Structure 1
Amino acid sequence: MNGRWIEGNDIRLLENGEEFFPRVFACIANAQREVVLETFILFEDKVGLQLHEALVAAARRGVQVDVTIDGFGSPDLSDRFIGSLVEAGVRMHVFEPGTRLFGKRLNVLRRMHRKIVVVDGAVAFVGGINYSADHLADFGPQAKQDYSVEIRGPLVADIHRFTHAALAQGQRYQRVRQWWRRRKHLRSTPDSLPRLGSAAAMFVVRDNTEHMSDIERHYRIAIRAARHRIVIANAYFFPGYRFMKELRRAARRGVDVRLILQGEPDMAIVKTAAGMLYHHLLAAGVRIYEYRDRPLHGKVALMDDEWATVGSSNLDPLSLALNLEANVIIRDGAFNAHLYERLDCLMRNSCHQIEREAIGELRGWHLVRSFLAYHFTRRYPGWASWLPRHAPRLQPALSQRLSPAYHGPKE
């Protein structure tokens, strides 16, 4: 499944919550059989309450609804919020719920960072947008800039199979009968869906067992193949050494390499980490644009005139070596052109280009810090592999009595 080009898809770019939430909520409202949703963050704010209403309504009319939230990203949902979902028939799953010590969350590593929705096995959404009000412009200066895609066509079958496999594999109390679940699941999921568009695409995940570096590998392959244009917009940019090496090589062979990074990050350490790599990138001819309007949360890229990717994976140690992530890679000229138009608009109207002369020469502690940061990127994938890689664990929300166990897709 991971890394298989599938032809005939219709893929639509959705920018920010204003475009994303109405499409997802409308699809859930029209669901006839099934909704499967995974998200890192679900907050009990106006967006979370809208999602809650849509899911409850779907479950009450007989739609099978499975929702997976991350225990670190969504730790504070009230019992009333979850209980009303469960009572309506929604099967709520929590990835690594974890415990607290002196009020501090300990489940920091190995997060379920994916953002996926599949409705009736016919339409899917994959991207970086969580279910929280800070993805809407009216949230104010801290509203996030982000992207997702709506997918129709044969690729949806792959995504649908993946979401059910993740549910089955994540529940340890079903492991004895997991072979049966998988057989039933494969029978229930259509092998293919009709061609609905012109885009070739693949669904690529990062996990901690079989696909530990697949997303980064596809990025590096595309960078190596690029001939005239690379644009990467990524919220948390601190990639591995081989990734950096490919970017520098591309710029030196004449490719127009542009990075859109956070100028006003939601975490100060993000800018510090990226800034430590600026000298190495600028010296090779990479152009760097800092987005200044609001926090950048996007994870998108394009190469030349056809290749593009949208997903949940940042280009930092957490996403590339620890988190569970999902991206869609797209090969389509029209989609690539539209994404470039949107990113070019950001660069022209909302970004400040970083000039090499303006950041000065590296001296003293700044030189040492940059040296250490640059060479850390050569080592962290290996260090990350030393950390515990336990099997992903899902638990029912509230109690197993209230939240029924997963029993495969609805027939």
Structure 2
Amino acid sequence: MNGRRWLQGNAIELLENGEQFFPRVFEAIREAQREVIVETFILFDDKVGQGLHAALRSAAQRGVKVDLMIDGFGSPDLSPEFIGGLTSVGVKVRVFDPGRQVFGQRLNVFRRMHRKIVVVDGQRAFVGGINYSADHLMDFGPKAKQDYAVELRGPVVTEIHRFVLHAIAVGGKGSGWFRRRLKAARHEELNSPVGEAEVQLVTRDNRRHTNDIERHYRAAIRTARERIVIANAYFFPGYRLIKEMRRAARRGVDVRLILQGEPDMPIVKTAASLLYHHLLNAGVRVYEYCERPLHGKVALMDDQWSTVGSSNLDPLSLSLNLEANVIVRDRAFNQVLSERLEHLMTYSCKQIRVEDLAEWSGWRLVRSFLIFHVLRWYPSLTGWLPRHAPRLKPLDPPPLPPAGATQTETAA
């Protein structure tokens, strides 16, 4: 579906929340010998961002090629000192910005580089939904996010590596080194098998692969026979995906949704709740995660199919953003993910029932009719928006202060 393929022989490990994810990524960067590529939507200058900063600086200082791509909307406030601390030691920092700016302001705030990918030496990769910010750690408090990522080794990492090299070379009209590296990577043999998992990288862009992630979801739901569990932070999918869920429930599949009960943005819960009548009346079970904000984008079907990635099931992710998921066919990984989601549903969720919802009224019927048609047509409507090709703006080191300038003068 994506011009990519199922690759056998991979090792995959689920990483839950920042406590598992950040140490593993920073360790991989510290062990890098040749190359580190990081893509992320959000990078903040907090203790997590400083941890990534230190790991990337250290790698660059020992001669590792380091490339960092951030989104201009998601990471808008990084200081010149933060950026300069990277670029001054050779880290290539690039900012994704899909449109022209007017008076320094980005007008197109919808098309975002929302992927979260790390590739180290072409041998280890991380894909998921976790950004580099302290709100992915439990000690952040009640607003700490619940989220997931995976670490991968094996042949699929070669495919992920080629993808990120291509994104830099094309989006950034990249350096000669990257173009040569991409050309060489295309002819490299796949990494040797190291495990049992069959994995495919699936991405979404605004050119050739506009709905690949959603199509994989729909295909898996359509063929599910026993169970479907979807945990997704921002849930307002298109008509066709909703239709497949309802059909699956009506043919006897145990369909469960884990959605936000304590959202980071109130509109998220409001939008999802507009669909509850449609889902519950078809037999879909809805659970609201109430412990803290849910930020995960994971799902499993039956006992083998799973996905982890950056894509929400909402208009931004399904029709506008640049996204990346891995899809996994492996019973052992499916079981691990299943156990974690069962734990959430048992101990941290409230199940929503039909009797919990407000009674139907004339206004609710009208609203339901309008929502139905919005869901049915919004993928087509987004096609009218400008489809910008990815543009990466390289950030240069900030200018050195004049000789003799004090620290106060420089900061001013």
Q: What band does the TM-score fall into relative to the shorter chain?
A: over 0.9
Superposed displacement of residue 145, structure 1: 0.3
Superposed displacement of residue 285, structure 1: 0.1
Pair 1:63-2:64 in alignment: yes
Q: 1:306 aligns with which of 304, 307, 310?
A: 304
Superposed displacement of residue 366, structure 1: 2.9
| Alignment-derived partner of residue 22 in structure 1 | 23
- Aligned residue type for 1:326: A
Superposed displacement of residue 272, structure 1: 1.0
Superposed displacement of residue 362, structure 1: 2.1
SS at match of 1:31: coil
Q: How many corresponding residue pairs? A: 398
SS at match of 1:264: coil
- Closer/same/farther in 2, CA of residues 183 and 57 from structure 1, 3 Å limit: closer
In 2, distance between residues paired with 1:139 and 1:105? Answer: 30
Gaps (5+ residues) in structure 1? Answer: 403-411
- Contact (CA 8 Å) 2:98, 2:112: kept in 1 or not? no
In 1, distance between residues paired with 2:131 and 2:386? Answer: 27
Superposed displacement of residue 364, structure 1: 3.2
SS at match of 1:261: strand
Q: 2:376 aligns with which of 375, 378, 382?
A: 378
| Alignment-derived partner of residue 78 in structure 1 | 79
- Contact (CA 8 Å) 2:80, 2:398: kept in 1 or not? no
Superposed displacement of residue 399, structure 1: 6.0
| Alignment-derived partner of residue 259 in structure 2 | 261
Q: What is the TM-score with the length of structure 1 in the denominator?
A: 0.93
- Closer/same/farther in 2, CA of residues 188 and 99 from structure 1, 3 Å limit: closer
| Alignment-derived partner of residue 194 in structure 2 | 196
Q: What is the TM-score with the length of structure 2 in the denominator?
A: 0.93
- Closer/same/farther in 2, CA of residues 67 and 401 from structure 1, 3 Å limit: farther
SS at match of 2:360: coil
In 2, distance between residues paired with 1:99 and 1:34? Answer: 31
In 2, distance between residues paired with 1:378 and 1:75? Answer: 34
| Alignment-derived partner of residue 144 in structure 2 | 143
| Alignment-derived partner of residue 409 in structure 1 | none
- Aligned residue type for 2:11: D
How big is each residue's C-alpha offset from its partner over 1:2-52, in whole Å with a ceiling of 9 and x where there is no partner?
441000000000000000000000000000000000000000000000000
Alignment of 1:210-289 (within 5 A): 210-289=208-287
| Alignment-derived partner of residue 408 in structure 1 | none
Instruction: Tell me whether 36-45 or 372-381 shows the greater mean CA deviation.
Output: 372-381
SS at match of 1:131: coil
Superposed displacement of residue 173, structure 1: 7.3
- Aligned residue type for 2:390: P
SS at match of 1:215: helix
| Alignment-derived partner of residue 366 in structure 1 | 364
| Alignment-derived partner of residue 186 in structure 1 | 183
SS at match of 2:118: strand
- Contact (CA 8 Å) 1:72, 1:97: kept in 2 or not? no
Pair 1:108-2:109 in alignment: yes
Q: What is the RMSD of the two structures over their aligned residues, measured on CA atoms?
A: 2.0
- Closer/same/farther in 2, CA of residues 27 and 107 from structure 1, 3 Å limit: same
- Aligned residue type for 1:108: V
- Contact (CA 8 Å) 1:70, 1:97: kept in 2 or not? no
SS at match of 1:167: helix
| Alignment-derived partner of residue 349 in structure 2 | 351
In 2, distance between residues paired with 1:279 and 1:82? Answer: 48
In 2, distance between residues paired with 1:2 and 1:15? Answer: 29
Superposed displacement of residue 181, structure 1: 6.0
- Contact (CA 8 Å) 1:41, 1:69: kept in 2 or not? yes
- Contact (CA 8 Å) 2:98, 2:111: kept in 1 or not? no
In 1, distance between residues paired with 2:37 and 2:174? Answer: 20
SS at match of 1:44: coil
| Alignment-derived partner of residue 406 in structure 2 | none
Alignment of 1:1-40 (within 5 A): 2-40=3-41
- Aligned residue type for 1:313: S
How big is each residue's C-alpha offset from its partner over 1:365-399, in whole Å with a ceiling of 9 and x where there is no partner?
33322321222110010011110012111001246
SS at match of 1:92: strand
How big is each residue's C-alpha offset from its partner over 1:41-69, in whole Å with a ceiling of 9 and x where there is no partner?
00000000000000000000000000000
- Closer/same/farther in 2, CA of residues 88 and 98 from structure 1, 3 Å limit: farther
SS at match of 1:161: helix
SS at match of 2:191: coil
In 1, distance between residues paired with 2:246 and 2:326? Answer: 25
- Give the % identical residues: 67
- Aligned residue type for 2:136: H
| Alignment-derived partner of residue 54 in structure 1 | 55
